[in-house]
C-alpha cells in the first residue's frame, strides 16, 4: 500500500498508536462493524474485551462504533471504507499504515444483499446480483489486497478469516432463494481457496472461509436463531486461534471447527 513515494513520507510522521508488545495483544481488524446488534461489532467488542487492539471498519459513520471508541479510546481505530470502491479501501489501508505497522488477524465480515434476496429465480431482478457479489467476494479481495502488506508484516503468522455461510456451499445447496447472497458467498469461498494457494508456500499469511453459525444478527428477540451476535463472536474468536498455524486442513469450516463442503 506504500507504493507511492508521495505517501510514504507521510506515514513516518505519525506515531504508531498501535504496537505489538511482546506478543500479549494482537492487532485485529474487522470489517462491517457499524451495527451494535450484528456480528462485526460484537467481534470487535470481544477482542477489545480481551485487551487486543482493534481496527473496526464501517461503510459510513456509525454512532454505535463511536460509542465504543469513547470507551476504548486508542485501543480502537475506526476506518471508513466502501468495499465496492478500490480507492476507498486503498485509502483506508494508507490511513492505517500511518498508525500501525502490522495486522495479526483480519476478519472479513461485511456483507450486503439486494432487495430481491428472498425472491426466487422468476421473480428476482437478476441485474441486482452483480452488486451483491461485488460486495461479498470482490470487496473482500480488495480488502485483502490493500491490507496485505500489513498482514505480511505481522510478527507471527497472520490470519485471514472470511465470514462465509453454508449458503455459499454449492454441493449442499438446497434453496431456491438467496440467489445473490449464495452466489456471493460461493464466490468468496473460491476467492479463499485461490488466495490460500497464492499464500501458502510462504507460510506467512493463512486464510479460511468460515460459516459462523445461525445468529440473531438482526438483534430481534423473536429471531429463532440459537446464538446472539455476542455469543457467536465469542465462539468464533476462540476457534480462530486454533487455526492460525493450520496450513493443511480443509479451508471451509463451521463455527464448531468442522469441515464444511464447498
Ligand X SMILES: NC(=O)c1ccc[n+]([C@@H]2O[C@H](COP(=O)([O-])OP(=O)(O)OC[C@H]3O[C@@H](n4cnc5c(N)ncnc54)[C@H](OP(=O)(O)O)[C@@H]3O)[C@@H](O)[C@H]2O)c1
By CB under 6 A, name the binding residues for ligand X: 32, 34-35, 38-40, 59-60, 82-84, 109-112, 135, 139, 163, 165, 211-212, 214-215, 217, 225
CA distance 19 to 16: 6
CA distance 225 to 117: 19
CA distance 80 to 98: 15
CB of 21 to ligand X, least distance (A): 30
CB of 48 to ligand X, least distance (A): 17
Q: Which residue has the cell 492505517?
A: 96
Specify the residue, 79 or 154, whose C-beta has the smaller distance to ligand X.
Answer: 79
CB of 37 to ligand X, least distance (A): 8
CB of 110 to ligand X, least distance (A): 3
Task: Using DSSP bridges, classify how beta strands 53-58 and 105-108 pair: parallel, antiparallel or unpaired.
Answer: unpaired
CB-closest chain residue to ligand X: 32
CB of 245 to ligand X, least distance (A): 24
CB of 92 to ligand X, least distance (A): 10
Phi, psi of 159 (to 5 degrees): -125, 130
CA distance 36 to 162: 20
CB atoms under 10 Å from CB of 91, counted, come to 17
Q: How far is CA 3 from CA 82, 94, 146, 149, 174, in A?
A: 21, 10, 11, 10, 45
Specify the residue, 77 or 154, whose C-beta has the smaller distance to ligand X.
Answer: 77
Specify the residue, 18 or 135, whose C-beta has the smaller distance to ligand X.
Answer: 135
Specify the residue, 145 or 204, whose C-beta has the smaller distance to ligand X.
Answer: 145
Specify the residue, 38 or 133, whose C-beta has the smaller distance to ligand X.
Answer: 38
Residues 3, 82 contacting (CB under 8 angstroms):
no
CA distance 179 to 196: 26
Specify the residue, 110 or 205, whose C-beta has the smaller distance to ligand X.
Answer: 110
Amino acid at each position: 500500500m506504500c507504493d507511492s513515494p508521495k505517501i510514504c513520507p507521510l506515514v513516518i510522521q505519525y506515531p504508531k498508536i498501535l504496537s505489538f508488545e511482546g506478543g500479549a495483544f494482537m492487532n485485529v481488524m474487522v470489517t462491517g462493524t457499524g451495527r451494535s446488534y450484528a456480528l462485526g461489532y460484537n467481534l470487535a467488542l470481544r477482542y477489545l474485551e480481551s485487551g487486543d487492539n482493534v481496527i473496526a471498519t464501517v461503510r459510513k459513520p456509525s454512532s454505535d462504533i463511536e460509542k465504543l471508541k469513547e470507551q476504548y479510546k486508542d485501543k480502537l481505530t475506526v476506518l471508513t471504507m466502501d468495499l465496492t470502491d478500490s480507492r476507498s479501501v486503498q485509502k483506508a489501508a494508507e490511513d492505517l499504515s500511518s498508525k500501525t505497522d502490522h495486522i495479526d488477524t483480519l476478519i472479513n465480515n461485511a456483507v450486503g444483499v439486494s432487495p430481491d434476496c428472498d425472491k426466487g429465480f422468476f421473480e428476482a431482478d437478476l441485474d441486482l446480483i452483480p452488486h451483491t457479489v461485488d460486495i461479498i467476494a470482490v470487496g473482500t479481495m480488495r480488502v485483502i489486497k490493500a491490507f496485505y502488506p500489513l498482514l505480511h508484516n505481522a510478527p507471527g503468522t497472520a490470519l485471514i478469516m472470511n465470514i462465509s455461510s453454508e449458503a455459499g456451499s454449492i454441493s449442499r445447496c438446497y434453496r431456491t432463494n438467496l440467489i445473490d447472497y449464495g452466489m456471493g458467498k460461493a464466490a468468496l469461498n473460491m476467492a479463499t481457496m485461490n488466495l490460500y494457494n497464492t499464500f501458502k508456500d510462504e507460510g506467512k499469511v493463512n486464510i479460511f472461509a468460515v460459516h459462523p453459525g445461525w445468529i440473531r444478527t438482526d438483534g430481534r428477540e423473536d429471531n429463532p436463531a440459537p446464538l446472539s451476535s455476542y455469543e457467536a463472536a465469542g465462539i468464533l474468536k476462540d476457534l480462530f486461534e486454533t487455526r492460525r498455524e493450520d496450513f493443511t486442513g480443509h479451508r471451509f469450516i463451521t463455527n464448531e471447527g468442522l469441515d464444511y463442503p464447498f
